[in-house]
């Protein structure tokens, strides 16, 4: 049997980070750790990735999108494969049915994987994410995948606590967000969006600026609400809280 080269898909979050640490503790050989930088990461997440790279003593393969995500949000020509002319400019905010950002991320990682002979891709899906696991298995076509945390029976909570014990705290990101992905992700819940506005106002203001520029056809953010609609809602909630004090 040919030797399989284990490629870790690493987001910098608690699950993929715990996965790498546990694999190394189990003396598993890792060919490469691959991180796709969307350009929309929390600064604290990038700091964590730099710290993690030094901790494990392995150079992280850092990938970037073919097209800058902010350019893709507003100005990039979107040309359908079957037509020669651009039909629109900018993808607008992603949505559950139009996750262009996720597609570009997957395509970028896939392109790297194709350069590696006999790859075995390790995904940081936790033991208690069985529904996601079944969905992922149904789409698995391009290469062989394994889920070390599922094999180790490590839950999301256990993965986070394990990373805390190793000295990684993401400067408090996981005390404010259940999941930490792109700071401007439209698929976040209201709690996460409130906390983003409260604790990271500079990032929230960036979203307000982008929202004012979004393509006209892109009607909204989460639940077809604009970021400005959400700002009005949160301002109202702040006023109500002040009146109750």
207 pLDDT tier (thresholds 50, 70, 90): very high
Rounded alpha-carbon distances, angstroms, from residue 204 to 20, 38, 49, 194: 32, 17, 23, 10
Query: pLDDT value at position 153?
Result: 95
d(CA 44, CA 181) in angstroms, rounded, equals 11
Query: pLDDT value at position 91?
Result: 84
**DSSP conformational letter for 145:** E
pTM across the whole model: 0.89
Rounded alpha-carbon distances, angstroms, from residue 52 to 13, 20, 157, 242: 11, 10, 19, 41
Query: pLDDT value at position 216?
Result: 65
What would the pLDDT profile of 58-104 be if each residue is shown by its tens digit?
Answer: 999 999 998 899 999 888 887 766 666 667 778 888 888 888 899 99
pLDDT at 138 over 50: no
**Which positions ≥6 away from 86 have C-beta within 8 Å?**
77, 78, 79
Stretch 23-27: mean pLDDT, rounded?
97
Please tell us whether the domain made up of 5-178 is placed in CATH 3.40.50.620: yes
Stretch 150-164: mean pLDDT, rounded?
97
Q: Is the CA virtual torsion 120, 122, 123, 129 positive or negative?
A: positive
Range of weakest confidence among 23-27, 71-75, 85-89, 200-204: 85-89
Q: Is the CA virtual torsion 21, 102, 97, 200 positive or negative?
A: positive
């Amino acid at each position: 049997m040919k030797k399989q080269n284990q490629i870790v898909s690493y987001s910098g979050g608690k699950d993929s980070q715990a996965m790498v640490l546990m694999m190394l503790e189990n003396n598993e050989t890792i060919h490469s750790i691959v991180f796709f930088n969307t350009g929309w990461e929390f600064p604290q997440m990038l700091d964590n990735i730099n710290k993690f790279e030094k901790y494990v003593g392995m150079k992280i393969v850092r990938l970037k999108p073919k097209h800058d995500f902010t350019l893709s949000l507003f100005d990039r020509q979107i040309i359908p494969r079957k037509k020669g002319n651009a039909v629109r400019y900018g993808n607008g905010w992603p949505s559950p049915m139009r996750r262009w950002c996720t597609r570009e991320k997957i395509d970028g990682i896939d392109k790297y994987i194709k350069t590696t002979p006999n790859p075995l891709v390790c995904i940081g899906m936790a033991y208690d994410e069985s529904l996601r696991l079944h969905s992922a298995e149904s789409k698995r076509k391009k290469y062989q995948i394994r889920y070390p945390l599922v094999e180790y029976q490590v839950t999301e909570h256990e993965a986070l606590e394990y990373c805390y014990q190793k000295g990684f705290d993401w400067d408090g990101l996981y005390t404010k967000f259940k999941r930490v992905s792109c700071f401007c992700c439209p698929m976040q819940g209201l709690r996460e969006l409130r906390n983003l506005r409260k604790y990271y106002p500079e990032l929230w203001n960036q979203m307000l600026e982008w929202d004012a520029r979004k393509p006209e056809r892109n009607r909204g953010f989460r639940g077809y609400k604009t970021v400005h609609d959400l700002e009005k809602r949160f301002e109202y909630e702040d006023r109500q809280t002040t009146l109750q004090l």
